[in-house]
Amino acid sequence: MTDQKNVFISHVHKDDGGLKKLKDLLAPKGLDVKDSSIHTGKFNNATSEQYIKTEILKPAINWAGTFICYVSPQTKDSEWVNWEIECAAKLGKRIIGVWAHGENECEIPEALKEYADALVGWNGNAIIDAINGKDFCEKPDGEIFAPVPLKRHPC
């Protein structure tokens, strides 16, 4: 039986290929991810930053039941990723960080440090557990690490 979840996957466009890998990792475990994020093949022609944030990204984040941040070295300094995380927090979304496929560990975006409910390695079962409400933090290899005080959750 397949379960369907509506998610928004925050990422930098350089990591577009990782979104398919993430969905492919979860599909055999019975989770069909419906992703509302903007990625290759789903671009828009908008040029106004305010329009993009309020008319494209915010409704897409609001539609999703869960917000996932695809954590790679490039996401740390992305103003867009940090804005998307903050938007998700304001909308009351569950916020999960997922270490990028093959990532050994890198800095995570500041907003993710502040608002994450879970941070998980590249493991389909752990990702599904996090989507379904389990709060925990892992290194990319799946090792649980000591709690770090965060604003929303002691992850």
Give the domain ranges of the chain.
Answer: 3-38+46-131
DSSP H or E segment with residue 95: strand 94-99
Of 18-27, 34-43, 46-55, 60-69, give the range with the top mean pLDDT.
60-69
What is the pTM (predicted TM-score) of this model?
0.88
Q: 124-131 and 16-26 helices cross at what angle (nearest 10)?
A: 90
For the ranges 46-50, 51-55, 122-126, the lowest mean pLDDT is seen at: 46-50
Name the percent of the chain lying above pLDDT 70. Answer: 87
End-to-end CA distance of the chain: 31
Q: What is the CATH number of domain 3-38+46-131?
A: 3.40.50.450
Give the pLDDT of residue 30.
86
How far is Cα 106 from Cα 62, in angstroms, rounded to an integer?
Answer: 28
Q: Sorting pLDDT into bands at 50, 70 and 90, what band is 154?
A: very low
Which pLDDT value is given to residue 155? 44
**CB under 8 Å to 51, separation ≥6 — which residues?**
none
Task: Compute CA distances 14 → 18, 77, 79, 81, whole Å.
Answer: 9, 13, 15, 13
What mean pLDDT comes out for the span 140-146? 81
